[in-house]
Structure 1
Amino acid sequence: MSTSPEMPYPLDLGRLDDDLTSPQLAAMYRALVEEIPAVLYINGPQENSPTLYVSPRTNEVLGLPPQGWYDDTWSTHVHPDDRATVDANYVAALRHGASEAIDEYRFVRPDGQVVWLHDSIRVIRDDDGSPTLVQGVMFDITARKRSEELLSRQAALVERIAAVGQRFTQLLLEGGDLQAILDALADIVSAPVVFDDAARQLVGFATTAAMDDARLLEVWASHGHRGHVPDVHEECVWMPVRLRHEEWGRLHVLTDGAKSATRGAATDADGNGTETGTDPDEIDVIATDRAAAAIGLWLLSRQDRVALADRARSELIADLWQGRRWSAPDALARSRSLGGDLDRPVLLGVAVEFGREGPPAGSGAPDAATVRLLDSAHAEIRRFASAEGLSCMAAVVGSVCLAIVGFSTEAAARPVLGRLGAQLESLSRAESRGRTVAVGVSRPGSADGLRRILTEATDAAAHGAHSVRASGTYHSADLGLRHLLARLGDGPELGRFVEDELGPLLAHDATGRAPLIPTLRAFLDSGGRKSTAARTLHLERRSLYYRLERIEKFLEIDLADPSARLRVEVAVQGLDVLRQRRPGYGEPE
């Protein structure tokens, strides 16, 4: 490979003015070449031929002295991702008889700066078509490339923004709720999302693979009450959710420590690796803004938007009651985010149920009058807990008002709950037109037994509302057999026992004809006194006798036999427990 910078000037310059001498022509040509803001070079005709000449602009454009061309140093500075393509294109131009070829690629200067080159070559051939020289010229097109990249990014950004807006609009049009909006936002920004109300209570959230429920609640415990001043360096992106110019709550994207696990390195227009870190990008901010607007529209479309935090509490308590989703630590963290710290030594479950004709609660949606009573009971429990300084989480779940109340000692619990029961009974007399109100209270428990205390409380309330049918406070510890059946209700044994004892009656009642289970229950509740049972059912004795005979025939028993009557009494109480836990169990369709 030649190391001489002397140019042999093999070019055919054509006819020039006869007055110009060859040295003058060479000087003019050299001046012209050296003033062009580009790198001009001449190579030999073969694929591996050395460079014969390169203009001095190589220093300015590429950061390399001319010597870097003669010793082939320049080729090692071609961007590694482009090197193979550049070599292949040059060889193809020589082999396939092309007279001109253009290539664009990246070049890494010795100072690390990446520039884009437009490299145009012309193959000079002899009369036989064989290549004699290769003339080339390189221009720095970095500014143009970056402009193109910027325009491309802006076009992609506009397209993504439109898609984000359309996604939230489509969600609302399809009837999507708050959780659907939060899930969509978390998916777009690849980070956990939190929505809180004006009281800074966590109303809803969506997690990602990088942060589960427990971790999010832990982060939110310290993050939720911090002051949020708009700042690009904030550890979260947040937007206010406004209803009629009033801030209802805030929507947060927790970027701190969350995105780094889900977002890797990015590549800029020059191919340089850049760490995305946890800083929000334009899409995060715009998506959060669109989601906040979607939540505002969703809230405006709901008449009960003021009770959104109550609905979140209801979902939590329903999950705990059904044994879904929450471990003890997570449940405590979630309760704190909803304004009810249940991290207390003694926890008791409280259930309020209003008596009505027919099957126990849980066997269908409550009527409008019951809904009003349950809402009043819920408000009264919260007022009472606040006045007594108690830690309390309360919500209406189906046709029962449920609460978990925390105490410092077990001794303090019973008298306080006695006062609560008296206040709820007083409320019932004022609003329910004589309907009974049963307040069920569980045995003491802890955060590890939240499902148990809720189940015991609902069983005790159902016992008072539908078995005793009298207003009062009923403690699970006082129920005896009912408490035992409630514990059996978690497994299959109780269901099998009820089917064995009452199966034919349940099959009969399922046909839609006059049910016989209520008659059997009234007879048992009256202690086997037929006259009392007839008055309770508003039947003539003859009609009652006929029904009892049919019951004995279906069950193949003698109700006068104490042992047989005891079995069916236990089965009827077991049926009540099952219906409390499985709405619609054994009822006519």
Structure 2
Amino acid sequence: MSEDPQAVPAGRSPTVADVLALPVLAGGEPRVVTGGESTDRPVRWVHITELTDPASFLKGGELVLTTGMPLPDDPAGVRRYVDELADVGAAALVIELVRRYHRPPDALVRACRARGLPLVALARDVNFLEVTQVVHTLILGHQAEAMRRTQGVHEAFTALTLRGAGPEEVLRAAAEMTGRAVVLENLVHRALVCEPATAHAALSGWERRSRTASATDRVGLSGPEGWLVAPVEYQGERWGRVVMLPGPSPVKTGPSPVKTGPPPGETGTSPGRTGKTGTGKAAAGPAFGPEDVTVLERTAMALTIARLTRPAPWERTAHRNALRDLVEQRHRSPADARARVVALGLAAQDARFVAVLVDLPPGRDASDAETRLSEELGATGAQALVGLLSPGRLGVLLALRPSRPWRAAAERLGRAALDADPGATVCVGAPADDVSDVARSFRDAARVAEATEPGRPLPPGRSFHERSDVGLRRLLFALRDDPRVQDYAERQLGPLLEHDARHGTRLVATLRGYLDAAGSKTVAARSTGLSRETVYQRLRAIERLLDRDLESGEQRTELHVALQTLDALRTHPPSGSGFPHDR
């Protein structure tokens, strides 16, 4: 009889429940009489016996098949028979109720229940020899498959190491191989990387939970949640650890044909794989298998090597990635975003967040400024994420107590940024009361940065620019690349600019002085150093060239906006612009 080798998920040995679900045994109508909570035990071999002392031929993990003929008649003998099987570590006892018995003996049920040994009754005749052939073929096939998969794991992580993969890529590979969430943390329990990205909700309350899972010297289970953990080292010292979280297996199994009800007069339990753990707590999901251990071992090894070969501190990378996720709103939910921020050491409850952008002059070493700013904030005890958002632009997220003045904190940050690079431009967004609003705060800071030309003087007594500083001139500077703004300036002032260019006149300068004087010809003449008559003549020429009435307040305003636009375009002219200077 052929059996489907895919009936057992790859990566683990077949269990008692898996074997009972095989057609070769399902035909015997197997019924788990007792020990259903232990049918997730692995079956390492099948042993047929009609001996009164079969344990002497076992090594542990065997599925013992018997017709019941050798069972002792007295309860003490039955208990001794079961105790020997349990002591050697038999996986389960399967008794055929055809020849000697037609229902499981009460003494046998009691003995198996007392020792936690699964007892399975077969209502129909089963060819035990065929069972051994099928199950042994299945076991050997899965052992070979496990070896192939283990070899594949080693080859995959070797390739990652050889090409210098970073921690994100290494953890992503581990998560994909196992279908479980994998987290990298440092010694102070900051969760730096979590893969897959959709598992960020698993970081909720990370530091508290992590501190309940003690460190181990090698791969092993730790903590009340049953984490699988492995140490990550740097230059011979423990640097942190990688954690694999328990969870549902990604492999779906079909419904089991095994009957779970007890026969009349007996008590039975379900053979489901998930019941209770050895500590009596409900299991969170399938136990970790040998392949999970292998993957985590290779993950820790690859991370240890990567830590030696990659100069950038992983904390900096973690801050960068977290900031970019917040700015681009890549989290699945606000709860995920809060968990990610808290896992990196920031407070998310009862906190106010302030987004800051630090733009560096071209050619400056942004990574050096990032390190200096991060160290400066760390020395002051500030809760902040610091990271490069793009070349030349640093992002900072400050987490402050609501009672703490945010302007004072922004001022200290601005001073630190200017100390790190005096040519930097610091722009601050409006405060946010929740992590979900951080993206808006960064957008505010970005709009301020767009409206701040390089070298613009800082407001008196301040080290940063904010939204309230953006007036008409800075708004037009922010919109300087918009073709509609460029077209407006050209339509309003083009004829005047062309006249000055052809004839060497200074009509644009005269118009500027007149508008700056709020329409006073006398003040304009004084400010430009011209006679009043000359000013009158030039203003008439301007009205004729532009077809405008300079006595109209509305038209003066339109021209004044056009001149402000011209200034913005000249400060940072768009590609191909041919705007001449009027001064």
Partner of 2:396: 403
Partner of 1:218: 204
Task: Pick from 432, 445, 454 the counterpart of residue 432 of structure 2.
Answer: 445
Aligned equivalents of 1:574, 1:274: Cα separation in 2: 73
Corresponding residue SS for 2:192: strand
Q: Sort the Cα spacing of 1:572 and 1:423 in 2 relative to 1 into closer, same or farther, 3 A.
A: same
The reply on whether 1:242 has 2:233 as its aligned counterpart is yes
2:352–2:399 contact (8 Å) kept in structure 1 = yes
Distance apart, 1:558 and its partner CA: 11
Partner of 1:331: 337
> What TM-score, normalized by structure 2, do the two folds share?
0.55
Task: Pick from 102, 122, 141 the counterpart of residue 112 of structure 1.
Answer: 122
Task: Pick from 385, 404, 409 the counterpart of residue 393 of structure 1.
Answer: 385
Query: What amino acid is aligned across from residue 454 of structure 1 in structure 2?
Result: F
Aligned equivalents of 2:234, 2:141: Cα separation in 1: 37
Aligned equivalents of 2:174, 2:121: Cα separation in 1: 42
Aligned equivalents of 1:214, 1:336: Cα separation in 2: 11
Structure with greater Cα Rg? 1
> What TM-score, normalized by structure 1, do the two folds share?
0.54
Partner of 1:454: 442
Residues 9-408 of structure 1: matches in 2 within 5 Å? Answer: 63-65=97-99, 111-112=121-122, 117=127, 140=129, 146-174=135-163, 176-207=165-196, 212-218=198-204, 220=206, 222-228=208-214, 232=221, 235-255=226-246, 258-259=247-248, 263-264=252-253, 275=273, 277-304=285-312, 307-325=313-331, 327-354=333-360, 356=361, 367-384=363-380, 386=381, 390-398=382-390, 399-408=392-401
Q: Sort the Cα spacing of 1:110 and 1:310 in 2 relative to 1 into closer, same or farther, 3 A.
A: closer
Aligned equivalents of 1:437, 1:192: Cα separation in 2: 40
2:473–2:564 contact (8 Å) kept in structure 1 = no
2:98–2:125 contact (8 Å) kept in structure 1 = no
Gap runs ≥5 in structure 1: 1-36, 39-56, 69-108, 119-139, 357-365, 505-522, 530-555, 580-584
Point out 4+ residue stretches in structure 1 off by more than 6 angstroms.
113-116, 265-269, 486-489, 556-562, 574-577
RMSD (CA atoms)? 4.8
Query: What amino acid is aligned across from residue 197 of structure 1 in structure 2?
Result: N
Q: Sort the Cα spacing of 1:287 and 1:222 in 2 relative to 1 into closer, same or farther, 3 A.
A: same
Aligned equivalents of 2:467, 2:101: Cα separation in 1: 97
1:442–1:476 contact (8 Å) kept in structure 2 = yes
The reply on whether 1:436 has 2:470 as its aligned counterpart is no
Distance apart, 1:144 and its partner CA: 6.0
Corresponding residue SS for 2:121: coil
Corresponding residue SS for 1:313: helix
Gap runs ≥5 in structure 2: 1-48, 51-66, 71-94, 103-118, 259-269, 275-284, 492-507, 515-544, 551-555, 578-583
Partner of 1:54: none
Distance apart, 1:322 and its partner CA: 3.4
The reply on whether 1:474 has 2:508 as its aligned counterpart is no
Residues 337-371 of structure 1: per-residue CA shift (max 9 Å, x gap): 111224344322223334x3xxxxxxxxx535454
Aligned equivalents of 2:473, 2:123: Cα separation in 1: 78
Query: What amino acid is aligned across from residue 466 of structure 2 in structure 1?
Result: S
Aligned equivalents of 2:471, 2:306: Cα separation in 1: 48
Aligned equivalents of 2:363, 2:326: Cα separation in 1: 25
Query: What amino acid is aligned across from residue 443 of structure 1 in structure 2?
Result: A
Q: Sort the Cα spacing of 1:483 and 1:327 in 2 relative to 1 into closer, same or farther, 3 A.
A: farther
Corresponding residue SS for 1:200: coil
Q: Sort the Cα spacing of 1:368 and 1:436 in 2 relative to 1 into closer, same or farther, 3 A.
A: closer
Q: Sort the Cα spacing of 1:452 and 1:233 in 2 relative to 1 into closer, same or farther, 3 A.
A: closer
Aligned equivalents of 2:454, 2:134: Cα separation in 1: 79
Q: Sort the Cα spacing of 1:232 and 1:406 in 2 relative to 1 into closer, same or farther, 3 A.
A: closer
Number of aligned residue pairs: give it.
Answer: 391
Distance apart, 1:62 and its partner CA: 5.2
